[in-house]
Amino acid sequence: MKKSNVIGLTIGIVVVIVAVSLICWFAIKPVPNFIQGEVEATSVKISSKVPGRIEQMDVKEGQQVTKGQQLFMLSTPEVQAKLQQAQAVRQAAGAQSEKARRGARVQEIEAAYNMWKKAEAGRELAQKSYDRIKNLYESGVVPAQKFDEASANLQAMKTTAQAAQSQYNMAVEGARLEDKTAAAALVAQATGAVSEVESYASDAIQYSPIDGEVSTVIAEPGELIGSGYPVITLLDMNDLWVTFNVKEDLLPKVKIGSILTAYVPGLAKTIQLKIDYMAAQAEYATWSATKTRGDFDIRTFEVKARPVKRIAGLRPGMTVTVNWDEIK
């Protein structure tokens, strides 16, 4: 055999051996167990307690907002009408309460006083007539009937004078305590109604409850929205976390407080995450065993981990991967 043929055959054998070795190595090499998660953030849906038509939209999607910044305003003419009605009822109740507190007017008190004095004058006259008739009756000059008439007239005038005095005293004292209390209660009730309607009216303008970012704007100016309809969704970019779905047979490596080294393709960088939540998911997330013997169902757990420090550029929806085999 020629020497060149031997060299070629040897090289061929070496190449085959190397190729087979590489194939075997790749075949038996363990595949890294990567767990994929997604970045999430606290979202706040902004809605109004009252229905209305959007009169003004002050923000747009992607805009950064600060706490207390105005987001949108509704046109609510029905609520304004209800507010006017409630204010009118409160005003009327206040007038009634003031009337009960002050009592009768000066003219009414003066008229009651004059009637009392008039009745007193009649009583005095009746007393004098009674005294004269009594003397004459005792002298036998007038019959008993005249004396009885004078006595009855005196008693009637006394009663009239007492009634007139009572009317005068009532006018001076004003309304009874119960009436004043009832009038004050009506004022409190009307004030509460006004406060309720005012709260609805103030809810027509919505402000941002957090520092965040406008994620979605669902309605536009001119659209009619119902009570509780979410108009704007805000994202709290200061409250980010990563959610992983992990089979329970992988949980022995981690616990609450464990630090994970994760990779974010969207940032092309590695970050540190700290686990702060672990809980089993619903039954539909359970991995069912395929064998009737020697196997068992495996639950899926939701694991949440937050960045150890603030990561610039990290946004909700980004993919995060963790090599579970590297966790110690």
pLDDT in 10s for each residue of the chain, 328 residues: 455 565 666 666 666 676 666 665 555 555 567 899 999 999 999 998 888 899 999 999 999 999 999 999 998 888 788 888 888 888 877 777 766 666 556 666 677 777 877 777 877 877 888 888 788 777 777 788 877 777 887 788 888 878 777 776 766 665 556 666 776 777 788 788 888 888 878 888 999 999 999 999 998 898 888 888 899 999 999 999 999 999 888 888 899 999 999 999 999 999 999 999 999 887 655 555 444 454 566 788 999 999 999 999 999 999 999 998 888 7
| Main-chain dihedrals φ then ψ at residue 222, nearest 5 degrees | 95, -20
Q: Give dist(CA 129, CA 160) in Å, integer.
A: 17
Secondary structure letter of residue 324 according to DSSP: G
94 and 189 together in one domain: yes
> In Å, what is the CA distance from 316 to each residue of 9, 42, 228?
59, 9, 25
157 and 103 together in one domain: yes
260 and 320 together in one domain: yes
190 and 246 together in one domain: no
Q: Is residue 289 part of a domain?
A: yes
166 and 248 together in one domain: no
Q: Is residue 77 part of a domain?
A: no
Q: Which residues contact 153 (CB under 8 A, 6 or more apart)?
A: 126, 129, 130
Q: Is residue 6 part of a domain?
A: no
Res 290: pLDDT: 46
Element holding 131 (H helix, E strand): helix 106-138
Q: Which residues contact 71 (CB under 8 A, 6 or more apart)?
A: 46, 57, 58, 59, 65, 206, 207, 208, 231, 232
Among 148, 169, 199, give the residue marking a domain's end: 199
Which of 191, 170, 56, 160 has its CA nearest to residue 109?
A: 170
> In Å, what is the CA distance from 264 to each residue of 83, 250, 301?
54, 21, 22
Q: Which residues contact 306 (CB under 8 A, 6 or more apart)?
A: 240, 241, 242, 273, 274, 276
104 and 181 together in one domain: yes
Cβ(248)–Cβ(281) under 8 Å?
A: no
Q: Is residue 215 part of a domain?
A: no
* Residue 119 neighbours by CB distance under 10 Å: 21
Q: Is residue 24 part of a domain?
A: no
Res 102: pLDDT: 60
Res 258: pLDDT: 92
* Residue 65 neighbours by CB distance under 10 Å: 20
Res 123: pLDDT: 78
190 and 267 together in one domain: no
Q: Give dist(CA 123, CA 129) in Å, integer.
A: 10
Residue 117 lies in domain? 82-199
Which of 233, 214, 210, 207 has its CA nearest to residue 56?
A: 207
CATH at 272: 2.40.30.170
Q: Is residue 58 part of a domain?
A: no
Res 68: pLDDT: 94
Radius of gyration over every alpha carbon of the chain, rounded to an integer in angstroms: 47
> In Å, what is the CA distance from 298 to each residue of 110, 223, 292, 295, 304?
95, 49, 14, 9, 19
Which of 328, 316, 202 has its CA nearest to residue 261?
A: 328
**In sequence order, what are the beta bridge partners of 271?**
262
Among 136, 171, 199, give the residue marking a domain's end: 199
193-209 burial, b if ≥16 CB within 10 A, otherwise e?
bbeebeebbebbbbebe
Distance of CA 282 to the CA centre of its chain: 30
Res 109: pLDDT: 65
Q: Is residue 178 part of a domain?
A: yes
Element holding 74 (H helix, E strand): strand 70-75
Give the number of domains in the chain. Answer: 2
Which of 261, 216, 161 has its CA nearest to residue 45?
A: 216
263 and 176 together in one domain: no
